[in-house]
Amino acid sequence: MTREGTGPILVSPMAEGIRFQVTGRSSETGARTGVLHTPHGDVRTPVFMPVGTQATVKAITQEELRELDFPIILGNTYHLYLRPGHELIERAGGLHKFMSWDRALLTDSGGFQVFSLRDLRHVGDDGVIFKSYIDGSEHEFTPERVMEIEGAFGADIAMAFDECPPYPSSHEHVREATQRTHDWAARCGESVRGGQALFGIVQGGVYRDLREWSADRIVSLDFSGIAIGGVSVGEPKQMMREVVEWTAPLLPDEKPRYLMGVGTPVDIIDFVMLGMDMFDCVLPTRLGRNGSMYTTYGRINIKNARYTEDFTPLDPECDCRSCRNYTRAYIRHLYKSDEILASRLATYHNLHFYQRVMKGIRAAITQDGLIAFRREFMTKYSAGDDA
């Protein structure tokens, strides 16, 4: 896979619990393939991680996630801490056991959720006080507390507690948040549970100097992997692209690079080209529940009247269970009738579509044809006239 002239296979010496190998590189772009070895199996990168906010990827069983061949999924610390609580999950034997998932898990730190809340009560250098959206009770997240909570969940990969400022925010505000993110990152590194891999998060908003500063600081802290956070928070897409263009080259080649909360299939192809390895996003599941499906020929909204008597599959080039067994007309009827099966079939299909894109990306990098892959993908994907 690694071809002559594209450099040796690198192995991170610093990983705790996990180990990352770069296995191939694109000569045309910054893309690479790799394997992330975890205590719960190997993850081939670039990888898309479905979001299991409340210990479930909405509408999908864990058996189906295995069937769809996802090697790693996400849990949200903020939600799981509030309900059912990290103590309960620890008594269940950890998040893997609680939700019956035997492959790799990553938990975020709750930073994104806490800072998107309206019920944020106090932000200080020590941590954040916030109110529960469930019962209004008051809670505090500090770096140490978050490491304790993520330790109780026991995911293969924990994320450091960070401050994620909204967009737009002033340079001053983002500078302060980024400073706190660095301090908290160091404190997370000191308090992470043994055996658990910890990823640091680069912040810095849309300011190049802050991104460069943050990358420098986070990289210096010897994390098992590095994430770019604070993107996809409402900024224009071109700005997000610039942030990744500034930041990705500053990240160590031998560590996995995770772009948080991104994105559409096209986004993912583009950011893989900039050297990113890991992605997560609620789009395939959320859009599925809302009746929007990814197809080879672009996104379709199944609620559109044109599908009323369309007795073809969601995607003519897809062989997933939903497409093998059911028609657009049937799935449209399920949506119009508010049936649970609508969400199930659409979510399953959308996740399968993402997997198909990721497999295509990995194969294209291996064959060193990523640019051609993108061109072919876009030719078909832009041909649809519905989205």
Q: How far is the CB of 253 from a copy of itself (least distance, A)?
A: 39
Minimal distance, residue 43 CB to a copy of itself, in Å: 22
Residues in the interface with a copy of itself (CB under 8 A) total 38
Question: Would residue 209 show up in a list of annotated catalytic residues for this protein?
Answer: no
Q: Which helix (H) or strand (E) holds 19?
A: strand 19-25
**Cβ-contact 203, 163 below 8 angstroms:** yes
Does residue 58 belong to the site contacting a copy of itself (CB under 8 A)? yes
Which residues are CB-neighbours of 248 under 8 A, at least 6 positions away? 30, 228, 257, 274, 275, 276
Query: Which residues lie closer than 8 Å to 126 by C-beta, 6 or more apart?
Result: 142
- Nearest distance, CB of residue 332 and a copy of itself, angstroms: 8
Give the nearest distance from C-beta 195 to a copy of itself in angstroms. 23
Minimal distance, residue 358 CB to a copy of itself, in Å: 23
336 near a copy of itself, rule: CB under 8 A: yes
CA distance 20 to 14: 10
Distance of alpha carbon 354 from alpha carbon 293, whole angstroms: 11
Residues in 208-267 at the binding interface with a copy of itself, rule: CB under 8 A: none
Which residue, 3 or 336, is less far from a copy of itself as judged by CB? 336
Decide: is 68 part of the binding site for a copy of itself (CB under 8 A).
Answer: no
Residue 222: active-site member: no
Evaluate whether 343 touches 288 at the Cβ level (below 8 Å). yes
Q: Give the residue carrying structure tokens 């995911």.
A: 155
The Cα 291–Cα 112 span in angstroms is 26
Where does this chain touch a copy of itself (CB under 8 A) — which range of 36-44, 51-59, 168-176, 241-249? Answer: 51-59
Q: In terms of CB distance, is 92 or 266 closer to a copy of itself?
A: 92
- Of 305, 298, 312, 302, the residue nearest 334 (C-alpha): 302
By CB under 8 A, tell whether 286 contacts a copy of itself.
Answer: no
Among 252, 321, 369, 387, binds a copy of itself (CB under 8 A): 321
Listed in sequence order, the residues at least 6 apart from 8 whose beta carbon sits closer than 8 Å to its beta carbon are 2
In the complex, what is the shortest distance from the CB of residue 13 to a copy of itself, in angstroms, rounded to a whole number? Answer: 38
Q: Footprint of a copy of itself on residues 337-366 (CB under 8 A)?
A: 337, 339-341, 343-345
- How far apart are CB 154 and a copy of itself at their closest, in Å? 15
Nearer to a copy of itself, 74 or 231 (CB): 74
Near a copy of itself by CB under 8 A: residue from 132, 193, 253, 326 = 326
The DSSP string of 180-228 is HHHHHHHHHHHHSPTT-EEEEEE--TT-HHHHHHHHHHHHTT--SEEEE
Query: Does residue 63 interact with a copy of itself by CB under 8 A?
Result: yes
Catalytic residue among 270, 280, 315, 368: 280
H helix and E strand count, the chain: 15, 17
Range 78-137, binding a copy of itself (CB under 8 A): 79, 83-84, 88, 91-93, 98-100
What lies within 8 Å, CB to CB, of 325 at 6+ separation is: none
Of the pair 131, 321, the CB lying nearest a copy of itself is at 321
Q: Which of 59, 152, 197, 293 binds a copy of itself (CB under 8 A)?
A: 59
d(C-alpha 32, C-alpha 362), whole Å:
8
Rounded to the nearest 10 degrees, the angle between the axes of helix 265-273 and helix 370-381 is 160
- The catalytic residue positions are 108, 280
Residues that bind a copy of itself (CB under 8 A): 54-56, 58-63, 79, 83-84, 88, 91-93, 98-100, 308-309, 311, 321, 325-327, 329-330, 333-334, 336-337, 339-341, 343-345
